[in-house]
Amino acid sequence: MLLSDFDFELPEELIALRPASPRDSARLLVVRGPEGKLEDRNIRDLPGLLSRGDILVANDTRVLRAALQGRRASRGDGSDVEIEVNLNSRLSPLEWSAFARPGKRLREGDTIVFAHGLEARVAAKSEAEIRLAFNADGEALDAAIEKAGAMPLPPYIASKRPPDEKDAADYQTMFARETGSVAAPTAGLHFTPRLLDDLAAAGIQRAAVTLHVNAGTFLPVKTDRVEDHRMHAEHAELSQAAADAITSARAAGGRCIPIGTTALRTLESAGTSGELKPFSAGTSIFITPGYRFRIADGLMTNFHLPRSTLFMLVSAMMGLDVMKRAYAHAVKERYRFFSYGDACLLLPNG
């Protein structure tokens, strides 16, 4: 497969810079069956679009305020240097991998001073990333980062406006429990307490997984052949209780519908044998057309970037031609794209 196969035209004005308010007022494009029947609906219609006994699976990761502004002290060759740090993946209780700008002004052993007494030593440096050892660890480090940092908005939003306090709530799902992500599992942003009550009343079950999203989710595919792309790794967890609930729901005839690609990738990583088992490991699963889904019977997800691994994933579920037609329809009907945008409900079996 060629990367160009997954390209499509997207007007820039359709990139959402703020979410719908209230969250469950966003639009929902339903894509049904192998023929890809399209229906223009709303998120609030979700209880009626699913069936009693289906199970929705959310990612309960919590986004850290992972965008940090700091300074590196002068080495006697001029003034202090302002350093912009974006955390990527937690490596230990006190260490994170991160991206830094300007990275060329940093050396191993340098100390970066942030706000509220937070500091980090550059423990290692590569061409792409640095490894930071902080002066706190565990929950104390999480609390310090929360004080010193800002929400790590995706580059297609951050390039158009800075993060603000509204994003502190907007860019966090109501499922958020386990701190560790530097990007939100954005399909979960559409849910409200009212919607969850309506889903429960309709007999829709719920379970949770954890996948800590890192900045790799925004990395472009740079290889012409899709098969040559190396997928980034992210830590994922599935409990025995969640695995049992999903297995029981499917055995009783219900469908497993992940809320977002991160939940889906966790489930498929945990179910490679066809049987869903507890899971706690890094996953770099790369789902492209031709993949056989073992656990996910559908997917609720936002609209994704052209040429992205996530557009490849939805094309694997519904077929590339179907998804290109669905996205062309979404563009024509002025759906809002990406993290703060509208959503799709993909139901390959109708």
| pLDDT tens string 300-328 | 999 999 999 999 999 999 999 999 999 99
Q: What is the pLDDT of residues 29-87, one digit of tens each?
A: 999 999 999 999 999 999 999 999 999 999 999 999 999 999 998 876 667 899 999 99
Tell me: the pLDDT tens digits for 141-156? 999 999 999 999 998 9
The answer to whether the beta carbons of residues 188 and 60 sit under 8 Å apart is no
| Percentage of the chain lying above the pLDDT 90 cut | 91
CA distance 344 to 350: 14
Task: Extract the runs of DSSP E, i.e. beta strands, from the chain.
Answer: 27-32, 37-42, 55-59, 61-63, 67-72, 81-90, 95-101, 111-113, 119-125, 130-134, 178-181, 205-211, 234-238, 256-258, 279-283, 299-302, 343-347
Q: At which residue do the structure tokens 């499922």 appear?
A: 175
Query: Tokens for 292?
Result: 């056989």
Both tokens assigned to 22: 């209230």
Range list for CATH 3.40.1780.10 in the chain? 3-63+168-347
Q: Is CATH 2.40.10.240 correct for 67-148? A: yes
Burial environment of residue 54 by CB neighbours within 10 A (0 to 12, 13 to 18, 19 or more): buried
Helix (H) or strand (E) holding 318: helix 309-318
Measured distance CA(235)–CA(216) in Å, rounded: 12
Task: Judge whether 112 and 132 are in contact, CB under 8 Å.
Answer: yes
Angstrom distance (rounded) from CA 75 to CA 59: 44
| pLDDT at residue 292 in the model | 97
- Listed in order, the ranges of the chain carrying CATH 2.40.10.240 are 67-148
Q: For residue 234, give the 3-state DSSP assignment.
A: strand
pLDDT band at 217 (very low <50, low <70, confident <90, very high): confident
Cα angle at 212 between 284 and 10, to 5 degrees?
Answer: 75
pLDDT at residue 77, as a whole number: 66
Protein fold of 3-63+168-347: QueA-like (3.40.1780)
